[in-house]
Amino acid sequence: MSIFVDVALPAAVRKQFTYHVPQELENSIQAGQRVWIPFRNYNAIGVIVRLHQQKPSFKTKPVRKILDEKPILSKELLDLTEWISKFYFASWGETIQAALPAGLNFVSRKYLTVSDDTDVSQLSEEQLEVLKDLQENKTTLDEAKKRWKGTGLNKVFSKLLKDKKIEIWEEPDLKVTVATEREWIWADGKDENAAKAFLESKEVNEELKWTSALALIADEIPIRQSEIPDDSVFTSYTLKKLQDEGWITFREVEKNTGIDHLEFEPDSIKTLNEDQEKAFEKISDALTKEEFTNYLLFGITGSGKTEVYIHALKQVVESGKGGIVLVPEIALTPQTVSRFFRIFGDEIAVLHSRMTNRERLRAWKDLNAGKKSIAIGPRSAVFAPIQNLGLIILDEEHDSSYKQIDPAPRYHARETAIVRATMNDAVVIMGSATPSMQALNMAAKGKCELLELTKRHAEAVLPEVKILDLKQYKGAMRGEFAVPLFMAMEEALKKNEQIILLYNRRGYASYLQCEDCGHIPESPESSVSLTYHKRKNLLMDHYTGYSRRKDLKCESCGSANLKVQGSGTQNIEEQLEELFPDSNIIRFDRDSTSRKGAHEKILNTFGEGKADIMIGTQLVAKGLDFPNVTVVGVVNTDTELAFPSFQATERMYQLLSQVSGRSGRGDKPGVVFLQTRQPDNPALKFARDHDHRGFARQEMEFRKPLYYPPYSRLIRFELKSTKDHEVNMAAHILKKSIEYVISDIPVLGPSPAAIHWMNKKFIWEIMMKIDTEKGANYIERMLERIMAVYEADIKGKFSSVRVNVNVDAIH
């Protein structure tokens, strides 16, 4: 009986394509492999998601070739990506693309080959000339078009393509190979004893450099090139001479990873305190039973959640299983990795976007082969190919960066982790000092078990939090700092203590403004004002990447009277340099950490006490642990409330609570200053009192009558077009389609998005709220019906309009 395969392609089309398997490939084809299949006019790369014997009603084409000897996606990850594609309404191919590293995913180039069926005896001289060129030179389709454009051979080439004498094959664009280096070893018949005997003999000339090098290297062989001291004894000459003299040779070995320099002290695991032990005992029982359990570890800042994670992970590894540790930001990865590496060493593989493609592929392959059992990284590490998964940890589970916004699939790592753990009978630990409303609601419904850590570790106590009303300090400011904050900073510096300042705006200032006509320069690629970066003298749009030199004259009235308004992290940095000229100040934001390794370098500098003050955006609020920090200041707490969102207050509270937790983590008491023009905002008072339960209670009371998450699931439809009137009309038609399919649910909009225009496209949005109990199959069927009705209603009109669907939208 014939075998058929369903193949996923990385297109937005939400369907798979069916092919038949030629007899010669039947014994080697498996789900999870990449294959070449004829698609349109070329041979495309796809991933087999299903094998079956159901003959379709249409004539099928054959699979041409198999790209992988073994599946690159396990059945578990195929099942997980299928669930994501349904629940988050993305194509299965797009989801597989997100789960695989570069070198194994769909990113490819189209290369040309001469078809096996081509009869060269029937071809003209010109045709043979083109084919010979292609056979001698590996050529992409784009290169060939450029090569023969405007020449007499262009028509010849086009006809050969049309007649299928030339075939187009996709090949992985990035053939990533593992990085290697030389490892010097003894040549045949040589060893350490032979070297010592030679060096002690009379025939040795001690003045020769290579004999000195042999004396130094004899005890170290085998030795990697990167481990050889960089001095005058070891040069390319001396190593080559040792090789020529028959003492050493080399072999190529994989380069060590970037974390091999970290300290490995497995016996340094800390003893848990009473609170931590109680939480761990519960987790340990679930791990022993090997059954899915979801825990919310609600621990105040500095209470030692990481130690509980480490003990749980140790039990998992000792039982022969593996684990995933998710952190919300790449910025947290260096500190997190060093703490886990100390206990687990080479069991750890790091996965994040600042690594090179080669580094990520190596980490992925090590995990897939079972060489390593722990993956650490941000959101996408939830797809790590862990063998025999036993535990998933989501540190700072409340963080919005766990949600993928663009491109599809727009998944949430928290929900994905829970589903993956369910599939593996694994345990999930969601940890946070300020749990999200969704996690607290899960605990209230019994969907996760609440574990609490109520005390800071050792002698550390929660910091005192002071609210400073900036309206009352108009005449008592030092730059952007109210006098009480300034004086506390002065005092801390005298005691050689450290300071963290948060200002959640990048750049030098919020914007440039004309003093004569009031005009504020806006980005030509979005509807936002341009941020001024003084160091680079640039106006920048952080949403689209657009930048230009600072304007010298107003583009509206021509006046040269332009004034910098507001402030950003660069401006605050300059003020600090003037106020505290003897202090070392570092900035920690997206701009200062754009280079590879910058995160780790800045954090190490601060952690080693080589900087006194760290000024940064929200990155400084997240999970960092510096015992010598005693003063934390939030320069302007009101920036978070400016964004139009029902979650704005929650985000502000979480940010303030998290940054407050950076103070007083050692044996020195800490103090936190919150500068604001809205001192009566309840969120500020809850943050001052470290009262997360009180804040959550009030926030839930606000959301419940409005049916906002966590009481509903928010689905956002985003419509984009270069024509505002078309996207407006399409949005109204889409709303009617939603109401036709489901008449009894709240639908908000349509309305222009908060950023109405970006990258030359106008953006409108519609929100709908559905029951949180609705699963992947319901959501997929409902959204498919809505989009089918919408497509029928527009009947080919508004072809410029694109619709993106975002399930569990963060707004």
Taking only the tens place, the pLDDT of each residue in 188-239 is: 888 888 888 888 887 777 677 788 888 888 888 888 887 777 666 777 788 8
The SS3 of residue 433 is coil
Cα separation, 418 vs 426, in Å, equals 9
N-to-C CA span, the chain: 52
Dihedral (CA of 454, 459, 461, 463) sign: negative
What is residue 521's predicted lDDT score, i.e. its pLDDT?
A: 86
Q: What is the DSSP letter of 401?
A: G
What is residue 82's predicted lDDT score, i.e. its pLDDT?
A: 96
What is residue 779's predicted lDDT score, i.e. its pLDDT?
A: 94
What is residue 660's predicted lDDT score, i.e. its pLDDT?
A: 73
Q: What is the DSSP letter of 727?
A: H
- Taking the CA of residue 162 as centre, how many other CA atoms within 13 Å lie in the half-sphere pointing to its CB? 6
Q: Is 759 left (phi over 0), alpha (psi -120 to 50) or beta?
A: left
Beta strands in 589-678 (DSSP E): 613-616, 629-634, 671-676
3-state secondary structure 323-352: EEEECCCHHHHHHHHHHHHHHHHHHEEECC
Q: Under 8 Å CB-to-CB from 206, ≥6 apart: which residues?
A: 212
Q: What is the DSSP letter of 97?
A: H
| DSSP secondary structure string for all residues of 436-452 | -HHHHHHHHTTSSEEEE
| 409 cis-preceded (ω within 30 degrees of 0) | yes
* CB of 501 closer than 8 Å to CB of 613: yes
| 334 cis-preceded (ω within 30 degrees of 0) | no
In the chain, count H helices and then E strands: 22, 34
Cα separation, 504 vs 494, in Å, equals 27
Q: What is the DSSP letter of 692?
A: H
* CB of 508 closer than 8 Å to CB of 536: no
Cα separation, 281 vs 24, in Å, equals 55
Pairing type for strands 348-350 and 374-377 reads parallel
Residue 234 tokens, joined = 């070891």
CB neighbours of residue 549 within 10 Å = 9
Q: CA 146 from chain center: how many Å?
A: 37
Predicted TM-score of the model (pTM): 0.79
Cα separation, 471 vs 458, in Å, equals 39
Nearest Cα to Cα of residue 507 among 480, 539, 552:
539
Q: Phi and psi for 303 in degrees, rounded to 5?
A: -85, -5
Nearest Cα to Cα of residue 326 among 420, 407, 454:
420
Q: CA 556 from chain center: how many Å?
A: 40
Cα separation, 346 vs 372, in Å, equals 7
Cα separation, 749 vs 765, in Å, equals 7
Q: CA 711 from chain center: how many Å?
A: 28
Matching residue, tokens 């695991």 = 269
Cα separation, 715 vs 713, in Å, equals 7
Cα separation, 540 vs 453, in Å, equals 43
Give pLDDT < 50 ranges for the chain.
none
The SS3 of residue 423 is helix
Helix extents (H) in 50-206: 75-87, 92-99, 125-136, 141-148, 153-162, 192-200
Residue 78 tokens, joined = 């195929």
Helix axis angle, 333-344 to 598-607, nearest 10°: 80
Burial class (CB in 10 A: 0-12, 13-18, 19+), 466: middle
Q: Phi and psi for 748 in degrees, rounded to 5?
A: -105, 135
Q: Which residues of 362-384 are buried (b: 16+ CB within 10 A; e: fewer)?
A: bbbbbbbeeebbbbbbbbbbbbb
Matching residue, tokens 């008592």 = 476
Cα separation, 315 vs 446, in Å, equals 25
